[in-house]
Structure 1
Amino acid sequence: MKYIYYLMVLVVFSSCSDEWLDIKPKGKIIPVKVEDYRLLMDQTLFKSGSSGFVQSYGNVLYSTDDVKIPDSGYDQNFGKTSQSVYTWAEKFYLDEEEDADWQSLYSQIYVCNVVISEVLTTEGDEQEKKQLYAEAKIQRAFAYFILTNIYGKHYNKATADLDLAVPLITVPRIEGSIPRATVAEIYKFIEDDVNEVIDLLPETSEFNHRPTTASAYALLSRVNLYKADYANALIAADKCLEINDFLYDYKALEKNAWYPNVIDLPENVFNEEVLLNKGASNRYSLIYPSEELKNLYDVDSDLRWKGMMELEWFPPFADVIYIVEYLSGREIGLSVSEVILNRAECLARVGDYNLAIDDLNLIREKRYDTDTYVPLTASNKDEALQLVKDERRRELAFKGLRWFDLKRYNANDNANISLQRTVNGDNYVLEPNSERWVYPIAVKYMIKNPEIEQNPR
């Protein structure tokens, strides 16, 4: 009788010098029944070297203009990698160091490739096998979208066939040549995978780490928005919201026992707004909101500021920090509010700006704690689009998308956005056309695999 030797450790990272990406199975693992593959896809938390399917990415947080690390805590509270990301350095990792985001996402891709390659021919219920196959394709598509937007340029129709993204691995192998695919190739791969399996998924699930029809449409909405295909992004957003358009009224939520000004959001696993549960790889890191971000909020009434940011009294953290990070964990997956904002942006861009403003107010009326809230209005398309961008920044602060949004505004809107920092008297500037909008690939992977080209720095 074949035996499953602890499925939870299917994917770990070893130090063997002849393996690409440092991904290698550990132990005697022989899944043979559909229940075994369900255990693989339901692995959610970091354990035994595997990232699970909930831990995702996080480094992009510190590259954005939403964060301003105070000099007083810069050296004491932040490691060299976070400092390098924060200042858009030429190199983020030492030659022997791993990239946690790259590791986490390719770990998930490996498990997905195992399930996709094997589950349909295994023993068990046919419907369950098809659902697992579909879940693996959605999880893989999400991972490739994030990888491409971290290590590749933003999708540009004119150059996407030439711009390099990341290695595209579609089978569960751990050795061989892995040149980088292009941005266009990976975006097409993502869309093909999602469209292939969307009808095999349930509309909703009691476990929000499992992909559903709603989360698949949410992902399609995001992908098409980033391609500037606003018509298809709008269609996908509508289909998602027909299934799930739930939003919490922040006024109705209880306050936290330890931080009486902070609203007590449900843990992400129980959060009904979450369509696909993903947590940041640095989900319990210190987050200091920038003054620029603060100025976007009505700090006296907007519970996205008033109910989530706190002046921490305990040294050396005596500053305003994003405290929800510690109470429920930072959610960076797919959510109802993101899809509503996707729809609002598409409506604004195609000229239906009054409907776009209606979507913004749909969110905002659930986020303010006073009766003095006044709905937004706009008099033209451009004004509405700017209101959408501002609301997107408020609603999705620290949720993993601001860095990608900045890249697409520069690429699609000629926004000419530059970023500036001053750290301990030293000035850092990221120009709109800088190559450093694309993250460097850890040297370790290129030493093992010379065909992986480094991004220009």
Structure 2
Amino acid sequence: MNKIIFCGLLMLSSIFIGCNSFLDAKPRKGLVIPEKLEQLLSLMRKENESLQDPTFGELSTDDFYWDTADLNSKPEPVRNAYLWKPANMFGADFLIEWLFHYRFIYYANTVLEQLPNITPSTSELREWNKAKGEALFYRGKFLYDMAIIWSSAYNVPNNDKVLGMPIRLNTNFNEPSYRSSVKDTYAQIIKDIEESIVYLPELPEHVTRPSKLAAKAMAARIYLSMGEYEKALIYAEEVLKVKSELIDFNQLSTTADYPIAIFNKEVIYHSYMQLYMANFYLNPGLLASYSGDDLRRDIYFGYQNNGKIELKGSYYGDAAPFTGLAVDEMYLIAAECQARNTGQDRAKEYMRSLLEKRYKKNTVPILQDLSKTELLDFILQERRKELVFRGLRWGDVKRLNNEGRAVTLERFSQGGNVDYLQANDPRFNLPFPEGVIDLSGMEQNPR
């Protein structure tokens, strides 16, 4: 494809102008849409966008806090999200993360619209299927990543009436955008992810590419967030039948700058946040939850003389948070889902398998005598400790609060003051970027 025309397509897909829609720019005359299979696949291989996950949910959690100087050094939208600002969080400009994700959804829609026009030869069928599977995977994943931050959790009461996310299923710029219900938002997410399983290869060429295994792991994550625990269990256990090997933290160096390698054997699908987690304070309650025998305390965190911490145990291989899919998450999903039903013994087996690789030898907590309620509480605590800075805390809190767990977030400040975000506060759904609301006329989240 002509380079100028291709660049024009990329620019076009990132423009948000028009009446009644934030993705309604009119394509210029003569615009050539990619039609060849290799061109369509190349749209799915833009790793500077496909592997990046949004940061604003993580910024809003209570797992860490900055001192005044560090906070003031951040861009205004970051400060506003961190401080749980009720309104005008992002200003009049478009939010880059929002634009990137909906732009990639546009890429996915381009692929899905053009593929029916290509009749693949026998030698091309595998690549044709891969293109369709990747487009479905990314469309579902990116809509989910946005919904976790900007929409209510699926298990909110009356989810068929509560507003969710705008769903874009084609490249028609003239089609107005509107907010679907939470129920319809998640129905589309699940439809895309489950359909992608049909077309994706069993295992990826590399963990930066989607696969059947990654799509099943993604389905397990999504169904857990929906409170659909039986379905989450099915997918998590299907993944563990294929990939279950864990890193033994007893064999890692606690003094290494970054003890856990990128693309390690637990990784099912690799993605990350552009958020360098250094020079922050860990929530004191979270820090205290790691016992002296818990190797994660010193594998995950590097401690400075001033009390500040650096994230060093990310599966990204440095201080940027890994937000992809990994085996340890599947163990925790399987354990939680078993514990919620009648599989307490199986849940304990999953937890023992995981924790034997996370605690010093012969120091794994005894689970034998835990009641069903105590076991679930234990698993949820271990989930927070194991998956810290994975981009999951914000959605977990919303899901659990809709079940009545009344999780209140605490934000500590340098002077010892504490701010609180009470359970089910409207601010758990971040406001849509004001530029999007101004151009589209869509309804803003309640503040």
Q: Same fold (TM over 0.5)?
A: yes
Counterpart CA distance in 1 for 2:309 and 2:195 is 46
Give the 3-state SS of the residue equivalent to 1:302 in structure 2: coil
Give the 3-state SS of the residue equivalent to 1:420 in structure 2: strand
Please name the residue that 1:31 is paired with: 34
2:14, 2:100 within 8 Å by CA — same for their partners in 1? Answer: no
Please name the residue that 1:271 is paired with: 264
Matches within 5 A, 1:154-173: 154-156=153-155, 158-173=157-172
Residue 96 (structure 1) shift: 2.3
Please name the residue that 1:247 is paired with: 246
Please name the residue that 1:419 is paired with: 409
1:237, 1:340 within 8 Å by CA — same for their partners in 2? Answer: yes
Q: Quick one: which of 115, 120, 129 aligns to 2:111?
A: 115
Q: Quick one: which of 425, 429, 444 aligns to 1:438?
A: 429
Please name the residue that 2:47 is paired with: 44
Give the 3-state SS of the residue equivalent to 2:419 in structure 1: strand
Please name the residue that 2:295 is paired with: 303
Counterpart AA for 1:18: G
Q: Quick one: which of 324, 339, 353 aligns to 1:333?
A: 324
Structure 2 gaps of 5+ residues are none
Please name the residue that 1:398 is paired with: 389
Counterpart CA distance in 2 for 1:417 and 1:253 is 33
Counterpart AA for 1:456: P
Give the 3-state SS of the residue equivalent to 2:420 in structure 1: strand
Please name the residue that 1:49 is paired with: none
Bigger CA drift: 333-342 or 151-160?
151-160
Counterpart CA distance in 1 for 2:200 and 2:382 is 31
Counterpart CA distance in 2 for 1:8 and 1:146 is 26
Give the 3-state SS of the residue equivalent to 1:74 in structure 2: helix
Quickly say closer, same or farther: Cα 1:17–1:172, change in 2 above 3 A. closer
Please name the residue that 1:366 is paired with: 357
1:379-417: CA deviations, max 9, x gaps? 2110110111011001100110001101111102x1112
Residue 118 (structure 1) shift: 0.9
| Number of residue equivalences | 436
Residue 129 (structure 1) shift: 0.8
Give the 3-state SS of the residue equivalent to 1:11 in structure 2: helix
2:106, 2:171 within 8 Å by CA — same for their partners in 1? Answer: yes
1:282-328: CA deviations, max 9, x gaps? 25665432111101112x44332202211236xxx861222346726
Residue 329 (structure 1) shift: 3.1
Counterpart CA distance in 2 for 1:409 and 1:328 is 28
Residue 22 (structure 1) shift: 6.1
Residue 72 (structure 1) shift: 5.1
Give the 3-state SS of the residue equivalent to 1:421 in structure 2: strand
Residue 104 (structure 1) shift: 2.4
Are residues 1:61 and 2:49 paired? no
Counterpart CA distance in 2 for 1:389 and 1:234 is 15
Residue 224 (structure 1) shift: 1.7
Quickly say closer, same or farther: Cα 1:17–1:112, change in 2 above 3 A. closer
Structure 1 gaps of 5+ residues are 46-51
1:262, 1:309 within 8 Å by CA — same for their partners in 2? Answer: no
Are residues 1:288 and 2:281 paired? yes
Give the 3-state SS of the residue equivalent to 2:22 in structure 1: helix
Counterpart AA for 1:311: Y
Residue 214 (structure 1) shift: 0.9
Give the 3-state SS of the residue equivalent to 2:57 in structure 1: helix
Residue 277 (structure 1) shift: 1.6
Larger RCO: Structure 1 or Structure 2 (Cα < 8 Å, ≥ 6 residues apart)? Answer: 2
Counterpart CA distance in 2 for 1:89 and 1:359 is 40
2:68, 2:414 within 8 Å by CA — same for their partners in 1? Answer: yes
% identity of equivalent residues: 26
Please name the residue that 2:22 is paired with: 21
1:310, 1:322 within 8 Å by CA — same for their partners in 2? Answer: yes
Taking structure 2 as the reference length, the TM-score comes to 0.89
Counterpart CA distance in 2 for 1:330 and 1:440 is 23
Counterpart CA distance in 2 for 1:67 and 1:204 is 36
Quickly say closer, same or farther: Cα 1:57–1:140, change in 2 above 3 A. same
Residue 351 (structure 1) shift: 2.5
Residue 376 (structure 1) shift: 3.4
